[in-house]
Amino acid sequence: MNFKHWLSEEIAIKEQLFQVVKEFAEENELPLPVSKIGEGMEAIVYQTTNPKLVVRITRDHTQSVCEKKMYKSEIQNTGGVVKIIENKDYKDHNISYKEKVNIDVVGFLKKLHPNNYKDIMANIDNIGANWNIFDSEKSLSRLSIKESMEYLSHFEITKNFVKAIQKGVSGADLHQQNLGINSSNHLVVIDC
């Protein structure tokens, strides 16, 4: 397959996904998707007609399981994950309506904690980098996951994030692009 053919297929697939989200929104009387604002390997995020909400669509099973876990009330109540308004499986896809968050985590932390933002980000990165060791006492770096979570629990902005991880949100895909700052100015997991 040549590049031009591949590109035209990719564009067609993305247009189909947009139509699936639009149909879902209409059937469930939810805000309509407007434009793509982000995408990763397994999902696409669209701005909606409600400026405070985004909608995310994926076909990936692991991503779907993550969204469903974050949607559970005990996880939502930690305040450490993005507020999810709706999450449903629809036509072989998982669709989530979420609060729109500030994705400039480093910039926000730099303003709020100019002397600690690098250490805060390093401890967040440490959790993700060491997640698959399955032992909070061991680490590939100088700090264990347990030590990083203890450090992060001292900051108002990250304490709810720590609670969400303790309640079972996976840290396996924890990195800057999967985090945001919510309307309450707390660090939240937006994707896991």
For 94-120, the pLDDT digits (tens) are: 999 999 999 999 999 999 999 999 999
Domain identity same for 131 and 170: yes
Q: Residue 50: which pLDDT band, with cuts at 50, 70 and 90?
A: very high
Q: What is the DSSP letter of 168?
A: T
Q: Residue 18: which pLDDT band, with cuts at 50, 70 and 90?
A: very high
Domain identity same for 15 and 81: yes
| Beta strand extents in 64-143 (DSSP E only) | 84-90, 93-99
Domain identity same for 58 and 142: no
Q: What is the total count of domains within the chain?
A: 2
For residue 133, the model assigns a pLDDT of 57
SS3 189: strand
pTM to 2 decimals?
Answer: 0.87
Domain identity same for 82 and 137: no
SS3 56: strand
Six-digit token string for 123? 């401890």
pLDDT at 4 over 70: no
For residue 100, the model assigns a pLDDT of 98
The single-letter code of the amino acid at 69 is: K
Which domain does 141 fall in, by range?
105-189
Altogether, the residues listed in the chain come to a count of: 192
